[in-house]
Amino acid sequence: MTARDWFEKAQKENFAIGAFNVDNLEIFKGIITAAKNKNSPVMVEFSPGEAGYFGLKNLVDMVVNAREEYKIPILLNLDHSKTVQDCRAAIAQPGFDDVHFDGSHLDVEENIKGAKEVVALAHAKGIIVEGELDKLGGSSEVHDEEIDEAVLRQSYSDPKRALRFVSESGIDIFAAVFGNIHGTFPTQPDLDIALLTQIKGALPDTFLSLHGGSGIPAVQVQSAIKAGIVKVNINTELRIAYRDALVEKLGENPKEYKIYSFSEEIAMAVSAVVENKIEVFGSSGKA
């Protein structure tokens, strides 16, 4: 099945596919192990920074090898690519299922132009494209500050603008902004499910994604899935699980220099988070 097939299945059966960012090998192993344990499709994704760390060819080979070894559907995505050039590089490297052109830092016309160019290149290779119109705030970190919800609301997606953006660019997945934000905060804002319902009404034939899924209560994520979300992005919670497990193991083994000796336990800490998310998303047993 292609990425499009999987998202169509998710939409029809009312579940979402988890899209998990990969910082390192332990996080990758944790994601794949969880997907295998839950018999779930999964998407692994790499921001330009993460892709630069691994190297495009290396990360494609890593995913291809994991598909063969684990015998589960693993989709590969380039996440939050800010340039057409970066998207072009991923599209030229066989193995990607999805590329995310994030032109939210551009004016609307330039964003549409860039997304349209990426769509033409990607669709020629059978790759789907995600687009972002409204800049999602925050960063994939643990934040101590409180969110100014009045400011946050200024970035929410407008259904009419979203319709124009999708219609003119031809993207397959629209990154909706309706209370979601990158990172975790002392008080997470509530998702505006009513707005999401309006966005889905304006874009009935477009897949919708939820970025900034870390820290959002399960019940709200499930409400968003019922309203049309088929892809949920998780990054910060994986980084937290990895870092906490690493710090714990180093504390228990201060004279150990073979980090790989407890890397499996670190991966399992990540896996526990991913398994929980898979249950929340409803994708368990769907592979």
Assigned token pair, 107: 């004016």
Location of structure tokens 């994991």: 66
CA distance 278 to 41: 9
CA distance 44 to 129: 15
Indicate if 5 belongs to the active site.
Answer: no
Catalytic option among 23, 79, 97, 192: 79
State which amino acid sits at residue 267.
Answer: A
Phi/psi at 21 (nearest 5 deg)?
A: -75, 145
DSSP code at position 15: -
CA distance 109 to 116: 11
Give yes or no for a contact between 32 and 66, defined as CB atoms under 8 angstroms apart: yes
Assigned token pair, 230: 């088929």
The residues that bridge with 17 in the sheet, in sequence order, are 231
Question: Annotated catalytic sites, by residue?
Answer: 79
